Amino acid sequence: MAGFFKIAIRNFLNGPTTDPYPFGETFTPEKYKGIIAYDPELCIGCSTCEYVCPSGAIKVTEKDDGTGVRFVFWLNTCSFCGNCGYYCPTDAVYNSNDFHTARHQSEKFIPTIDDDISYVRCKRCEQKIKAPVEALLIRAYDEITEEVRHQTSLCPDCRRQEQFERM
């Protein structure tokens, strides 16, 4: 018993080891996988997050009126695995380190994140296309020239057409 007695006395002298949360500060690591955060500015609506989400917490659908893409996230279904953030090509979806998951009863049946991105029109044919995202352009091109800007403002068909015309 002597062995443990030493530990017990040391514990008594050291005081509590738990954090006094919520009355004091607690430790939240930077990498903590908390509630999903979403940035529609960066989103390209590629649905990768929906494809890799094992619990079906994310749904990316075309909007009813056809003006854009709707991103819906249900917190209660999320398993905080971080797959969406890992595979997101533009870091539009990521785990914040917010661990406060309690919600009001009135919010129970509405999505935690319900956001959308609007389509833009192709400069040539006015067809609806997904807007180019700056973060992805920076990754794809060494230098973003006026030419790149012009090309990305066209729909795939018009882009092809324009390339042929030039040849």
* Contact positions vs other proteins (CB under 8 A): 1, 3-4, 6-8, 11, 17, 27, 29-33, 51-55, 79-83, 86-87, 95
Q: State the nearest-atom distance from the C-beta of 131 to other proteins, in Å.
A: 25
**CB nearer other proteins, residue 3 or residue 24:** 3
**Do 45 and 92 meet the contact criterion of CB atoms below 8 Å apart?**
no
What is the residue type of 119?
A: Y
157-164 long-range CB contacts below 8 Å, 24 or more apart? 157/125, 157/127, 158/122, 158/123, 158/124, 158/125, 158/127, 161/124, 162/124
**CB nearer other proteins, residue 10 or residue 166:** 10
Pair of tokens at residue 64: 């009813």
Q: State the nearest-atom distance from the C-beta of 14 to other proteins, in Å.
A: 11
Rounded-to-integer distance, Cα 100 and Cα 17, Å: 22
Residue 11's beta-bridge partner residues?
Answer: none
**CB nearer other proteins, residue 28 or residue 118:** 28
Q: State the nearest-atom distance from the C-beta of 127 to other proteins, in Å.
A: 29
Q: State the nearest-atom distance from the C-beta of 49 to other proteins, in Å.
A: 11
**CB nearer other proteins, residue 18 or residue 106:** 18
Pair of tokens at residue 12: 């008594």
